[in-house]
A and B are shown apart, each in its own frame.
Chain A
Amino acid sequence: MTALGAVLYREGMIRATNLTFIFWDVFYPLGYLLVFGVGMTHAVGGALPGGLDYNAFFLAGVLGMASFGIASNTAWSFFMDRDNGIFYEMLTYPLSRSEYLIGKVLFNVLIATAQATVTVLLAGALLDVPVRFDLLPLLVAAVTVGTAGWFFFYAIFALQIRRNDAFNTVTSIFYFVFLFASSMFYPLEPLPEVFRRVAYANPITWQVDVLRYATVGIGEPRVLVMESAAFCVFTAATFLAALWSLHRQE
């Protein structure tokens, strides 16, 4: 078994001890869509710009939020590993620091992909969202890179902050800033200029815009290419920063 396979096995074994958690991970975006999405569809009434109803618009948002959540939970597991002492022992195992980071997120990428597939399939079946199944490979890629990018981003903080209550505060701030200043819950076009600028500088917006195109085919291809490229750069940069943080563990 390769080092990556061993980390994947370990993460899988730990998560398999709590099947409720896996079930929750896979189905909660759908629940979010059914409660919040349906509620907003009726509250907003009528179609959003682009002719979409809110459920169709919010499908990408809920997938983005889910991968953001999985990433922060995975990063939080560094604290659990530290508390168990296994974190430092693992750093003496025959695997590179980058294999450790990638392996750690790999299992959760699989969960995120399963989660996205279930959510998209049931959104189409239950809420009549006009899903573009021909774009499923793009959806998988967006979920994979998105989950990895956010995990590496959170890992930087999880590895540098020693107190998990401090990390929880940081994640709360990030949830507030990243999720609401983005195209996750609402279209950006009608918003004030300043808000729009902030939202377009937010990597969540880049990921959600690509997810929106991959789910319901809405978006400007030229902008989406730029956003995809920007998110890949973001992922590479956060990976390097997380790796640097991991190398500095003393």
Chain B
Amino acid sequence: MPVPAIEVVNLEKIYTRRRGEPVRAVDGLTFSIAPGSIFGLLGPNGAGKTTTLKILTTLIKPTSGHARILGIDVVGDPLKVRQHISVVIQESAVELFLSVRDNLHTFARFHRLPVDEIERRASRVIAQFGLESESSKKVMDLSGGFRRRVQVAKVFMVDTPVVFLDEFSTGMDPILKRSVMGLLRESAQRGRTIVLTTQILQEAEELCDDILIVSRGREVARGDLHTLKLLASGVYEVTMTFNRVPEGLETELAARHPLRLSVSATTVEIALKEPEHQVLELVTALSKRAQVLRVEIGGASLEDVFVQLMLDGAHETPEHAAITGGGR
């Protein structure tokens, strides 16, 4: 059986505070990640995603439990772990006084790449990230979006087998984001393991082949996209575009307690957990109230699954909140 790229067993992190109760940020997480997969760690704010990532990247030590990267214990041999990982932290992290090219050079030197190889890779990465015209500018003179580009570009300078990305797409325009997602997929196909956290669930849906949803430091659901969608079976997403949205429709629809509802001038998007025939009846009823330009009915998206799990979790005691899907 191959060694998992990442193995986490009963991981706990409790932050003690001078004033107030200790905070249990990670509460008994156990999971493993296969090499070459793109793993999404999802959860609401304060769910423990970043804390988990900080433990895996040796920034902090767990209170108890174990975590291993390629079989190396993060507490026992943190330096060896760091030789195998590269990290995009949530906050902006760039050398402001250095040029874009020098940022890439400096990062690669820490990973002991030969100088000629650094130069070759820097030119390639600069082109991949659309940084050609900015390459000799100091990063302090660039916008926040460009700074984030530089930060993410750094991990493509090196060949570390494991990459951690904490909300990597913050501040990126959609075109660059697509391109970076493509690069991440290519990296994973070549055997690199990617671990990412994101608040943008569509991103995770498109990118991740293995997802763990956490809340209050605990596993809520685990599996690939299809497995997770089974957890929200019976959820339908309806999108209807009218010539104009009928008056009072938003209030009427809100009364059905949908998982998600968005109403614009002409379009209604609603995610409902109701029997199929009721959903069809709703669509029929709505189509009689205004001219319908477009109707789309689909199954649950990852966002619907996420919302439903979080709502379910909010109504349950923490002891009974865990719902575990399939997965590796």
A-side residues, CB < 8 A to B, are 1-3, 5-6, 9-10, 13-14, 17-18, 84-86, 88-96, 249-250
Q: How far is the CA of A90 from the CA of B95 in the complex (A)?
A: 11
Check B60 against A84 for contact (C-beta < 8 Å): no
B-side residues, CB < 8 A to A, are 15, 54, 57-60, 79, 82-83, 85-87, 89, 91-98, 102, 106, 109-112, 138, 151
Name A93's contact: one of B54, B82, B91 (CB within 8 Å).
B82
Query: Which B residue sits closest to A3, measured CB to CB?
Result: B110
Check A17 against B138 for contact (C-beta < 8 Å): yes
Name B111's contact: one of A9, A18, A90, A94 (CB within 8 Å).
A94
Q: Which of B54, B58, B109 neighbours the largest number of chain A CB atoms within 10 Å of its CB?
A: B109
Check A14 against B109 for contact (C-beta < 8 Å): no
Q: How far is the CA of A105 from the CA of B150 in the complex (A)?
A: 27
Which residues of A are found within 8 Å of B58, using beta-carbon distances?
91-92
Name B57's contact: one of A86, A92, A95 (CB within 8 Å).
A92
Since A6-B109, A94-B82, A94-B110 are in contact, a sample of 5 more A-B pairs with Cβ atoms closer than 8 Å, ordered by chain A residue number, is: A9-B106, A10-B106, A17-B97, A85-B89, A91-B59
Query: Which A residue sits closest to B92, measured CB to CB?
Result: A85
* A140 CB, min distance to chain B CBs, angstroms: 27
Query: Which B residue sits closest to A91, measured CB to CB?
Result: B59
Q: Can you list 14 pairs linking A and B with CB atoms under 8 Å apart?
A: A6-B106, A9-B109, A13-B98, A17-B98, A18-B97, A85-B89, A86-B94, A91-B58, A92-B59, A92-B85, A92-B87, A94-B82, A95-B79, A95-B82
Check A86 against B85 for contact (C-beta < 8 Å): no
Name B94's contact: one of A6, A85, A92 (CB within 8 Å).
A85
Q: How far is the CA of A5 from the CA of B111 in the complex (A)?
A: 11
Check B97 against A14 for contact (C-beta < 8 Å): yes
Query: Which A residue sits closest to B118, measured CB to CB?
Result: A1
Name B89's contact: one of A89, A94, A96, A250 (CB within 8 Å).
A89
- 9 shortest interchain CB distances as A-B pairs: A85-B93, A89-B93, A92-B87, A85-B91, A94-B83, A93-B110, A6-B109, A94-B82, A6-B110
* A243 CB, min distance to chain B CBs, angstroms: 14
Check B96 against A84 for contact (C-beta < 8 Å): yes
Which residues of B are found within 8 Å of A17, using beta-carbon distances?
97-98, 138
Check A84 against B109 for contact (C-beta < 8 Å): no
Which residues of A are found within 8 Å of B138, using beta-carbon distances?
17
Check B98 against A88 for contact (C-beta < 8 Å): no
* A191 CB, min distance to chain B CBs, angstroms: 42
Check B82 against A86 for contact (C-beta < 8 Å): no
* B301 CB, min distance to chain A CBs, angstroms: 32
Query: Which B residue sits closest to A249, measured CB to CB?
Result: B59
Check A84 against B95 for contact (C-beta < 8 Å): yes
Which residues of A are found within 8 Å of B92, using beta-carbon distances?
84-85
Query: Which A residue sits closest to B112, measured CB to CB?
Result: A1
Which residues of B are found within 8 Å of A14, using beta-carbon distances?
95, 97-98
Which residues of B are found within 8 Å of A95, using beta-carbon distances?
79, 82, 110
Which residues of A are found within 8 Å of B15, using beta-carbon distances?
250
Query: Which B residue sits closest to A7, measured CB to CB?
Result: B110
Name A96's contact: one of B54, B79, B93 (CB within 8 Å).
B79
Check B97 against A92 for contact (C-beta < 8 Å): no
Q: Which of A3, A86, A249, A250 neighbours the largest number of chain B CB atoms within 10 Å of its CB?
A: A86
* A18 CB, min distance to chain B CBs, angstroms: 8
Query: Which B residue sits closest to A87, measured CB to CB?
Result: B93
Q: How far is the CA of A137 from the CA of B2 in the complex (A)?
A: 56
Query: Which B residue sits closest to A5, measured CB to CB?
Result: B109
* B17 CB, min distance to chain A CBs, angstroms: 12
Which residues of A are found within 8 Å of B86, using beta-carbon distances?
92
Query: Which B residue sits closest to A95, measured CB to CB?
Result: B110
* A207 CB, min distance to chain B CBs, angstroms: 31
* A150 CB, min distance to chain B CBs, angstroms: 24
Which residues of A are found within 8 Å of B102, using beta-carbon distances?
13
Check A84 against B57 for contact (C-beta < 8 Å): no
Which residues of A are found within 8 Å of B109, using beta-carbon distances?
1, 5-6, 9-10
Check B106 against A92 for contact (C-beta < 8 Å): no
* B141 CB, min distance to chain A CBs, angstroms: 12
Check A89 against B111 for contact (C-beta < 8 Å): no
Check A89 against B97 for contact (C-beta < 8 Å): no
Check B59 against A88 for contact (C-beta < 8 Å): yes
Q: How far is the CA of A90 from the CA of B57 in the complex (A)?
A: 11
Q: Which of B58, B93, B151 neighbours the largest number of chain A CB atoms within 10 Å of its CB?
A: B93
Check A92 against B82 for contact (C-beta < 8 Å): yes
Name A94's contact: one of B54, B79, B97, B151 (CB within 8 Å).
B79
Which residues of B are found within 8 Å of A13, using beta-carbon distances?
95, 98, 102, 106
Query: Which A residue sits closest to B83, measured CB to CB?
Result: A94
* A79 CB, min distance to chain B CBs, angstroms: 13
Which residues of A are found within 8 Å of B151, using beta-carbon distances?
89
Which residues of B are found within 8 Å of A2, using beta-carbon distances?
112
Which residues of A are found within 8 Å of B91, using beta-carbon distances?
85, 88
Query: Which A residue sits closest to B87, measured CB to CB?
Result: A92
Check B110 against A250 for contact (C-beta < 8 Å): no
* B154 CB, min distance to chain A CBs, angstroms: 9
Check B87 against A89 for contact (C-beta < 8 Å): yes
